Amino acid sequence: MNKEMLKLGSNRSIIRELFEFSKLKKAELGDDKVYDFSLGNPSVPPAKEVNESIKYIIDNKSDTYNHGYTSAQGDNNVREAIANDLNKRYNTSYKKENIYMTCGAAASLCITFRALVESKNDEILAIAPYFTEYKVFVEGAGATFNVVPADLNTFNINFTELEKTVSKNTKAIIVNSPNNPSGVVYTKENLIKLASFLNEKQKEYNHPIYIICDEPYREIVFEGNTVSHIPSLYDNTIVCYSYSKSLSLPGERIGYILVPDKCFESKELYLACLGAGRAYGYVCAPSLFQHVIEACASLTSNMNEYKKNRDLIYNGLTKIGYECVQPQGAFYLFMKALEDDAYNFMEKAKKFNIIVVPSDNFGVKGYVRLAYCVSTETIINSMKAFEKLYKEYNK
Ligand code: PLP
């Protein structure tokens, strides 16, 4: 068998391990005594229209429509609804031919990487801190994964490091904003700077360098911060989107890839995405949820809940004395560990029944990630435990 796959399957991700630990602890102590901030599973229910459209579709449409195959690229109507929704938001002129329906952001990313990568020499870059699975997806597509080290002051793009990391082999750079795990939203100025930097590099190396926007948190953004539509800033941009977070549908596996006409050889690139989806055996995205998205493309869950949690956790922890990056979007808080070794800190936190994820897997040392997509009570009740943990270090 393939040893790489055996390794991937055997070494569970730290987040999954912590989640299992939390389940055991909760069984032992009770749910309200364990403060589990490990998993990015949306805590807010989907917009009510989601369940209403499921019922409507089931009651009014045929079984073949509801559960049969759609075209590989997705049903025409949902792709049109998504293109129209994007056009309203961003003043663009996308058509259904630019949209390819997928099984969520993970599939969007894997398909996009596979569509672009020609050999192991091709490099795909991620900006630290980054979503841990990028490495698995990029290497799975046969490319080399390289990291642009973080700007530890702003957690925006570190251009000095980017300049050192980009090479003639760079095929694409992944941009994830609002960011998992830092919660930072990249500023428009930074994205314009990135666009102009990459335009220069494309000229220098005489080949396209793509921005792959991974934006499942696009709609989870707090006061005053806006998420720029990167295809309007840089031509060679491919968007990987998912309804897992914005509509709280992570288990339904539904999302899309947007290949704008402005991309280099965009028609061929779109076909290469179809080819990659075919090679991976995706066949088509789930039919029922394609129809649901047709009705709900412009909606989101109630984002005020995340804002409330963000304020509680950020204000609570900084008041105790913890140093935190202020989250501007998504539902993660990046907090400085109270010692250099984030793994040790995670272990100490566990003693107080606090479960946090060490930052090493996100490409930064000395921090932990807290997913605050939990009940408000969990955050409020956890503060005493965080205080005890803080005192343990400041005796
Ligand atoms: N990208 C980022 C940054 C994520 O945080 C996640 C999931 O947590 C994904 C992609 C995968 O999302 P999906 O569930 O839509 O595959």
Residue 309 CB–ligand 1 contact under 6 Å: no
Do 163 and 58 have their domain in common? yes
Question: In angstroms, rounded to a whole number, what is the distance separating the alpha carbons of residues 387 and 395?
Answer: 12
CB-ligand 1 contact for 111 (6 Å cutoff): no
Task: Examine the domain organization and report whether 271 and 198 are in the same domain.
Answer: yes
Comparing CA positions, the residue from 283, 212, 287, 214 lying closest to residue 254 is 287
Q: What is the pLDDT of residue 225?
A: 87
Q: What is the pLDDT of residues 239-260, one digit of tens each?
A: 999 999 999 999 999 999 999 9
Closest atom of ligand 1 to CA, residue 104: 15
pLDDT of residue 14: 86
The reported pLDDT for the residue numbered 131 is 96
CATH number of the domain residue 360 falls in: 3.90.1150.10
CB of 174 shorter than 6 A to ligand 1: no
Mean pLDDT for all residues in the chain: 96
Domain of 141? 48-296
Of 111, 242, 289, which is best to mutate to test ligand 1, by the most ligand atoms within 8 angstroms of its C-beta?
A: 242
> Ligand 1 center to residue 109 CA distance, Å?
9
Average pLDDT over residues 270-298: 98
> Residue 16 above 90 pLDDT?
no
Reply yes or no on whether the pLDDT at 12 is more than 80. no
pLDDT tens digits, 114-170: 999 999 999 999 999 999 999 999 999 999 999 999 999 999 999 999 999 999 999
Q: How far is the CA of 217 from the centre of ligand 1 (A)?
A: 9
The pLDDT value recorded for residue 13 is 80
Atom of ligand 1 nearest to the CA of 214: 1
Q: Which atom of ligand 1 is nearest to the CA of 243?
A: 15
**Quick one: 123 and 191 in the same domain?**
yes
pLDDT at 224: 82
Does residue 153 share a domain with residue 68? yes
pTM, full prediction:
0.96
> Torsion angle, CA of 156/180/221/307, rounded to 10 degrees?
-120
Q: What CATH number does residue 183 fall under? A: 3.40.640.10
The number of folded domains in the chain is 2
Q: Is the pLDDT reported for residue 198 higher than 80?
A: yes
In angstroms, what is the span from residue 216 Cα to ligand 1's centroid?
A: 6
Q: Are 8 and 82 contained in the same domain?
A: no
- 139 and 192 in a single domain? The answer is yes
Q: Would you place residue 395 in the very low, low, confident or very high pLDDT band (cuts 50, 70, 90)?
A: confident
In this predicted model, what pLDDT tens digit does every residue of 44-100 receive, in sequence order? 999 999 999 999 999 999 999 999 999 999 999 999 999 999 999 999 999 999 999
Same domain, yes or no: 348 and 235: no
- pLDDT score for 19: 86
Closest C-alpha residue for ligand 1 atom 5: 180
pLDDT attached to residue 142: 97
73 and 215 in a single domain? The answer is yes
Over residues 338-365, mean pLDDT: 96
Considering the domain architecture, whether residues 319 and 360 belong to the same structural domain is answered as yes
C-alpha 108 to ligand 1 mean position (Å):
10
> 276, 296, 316: which is the final residue of a domain?
296
If you measure from the C-alpha of residue 106 to the centroid of ligand 1, how many angstroms do you get, rounded to a whole number?
Answer: 6
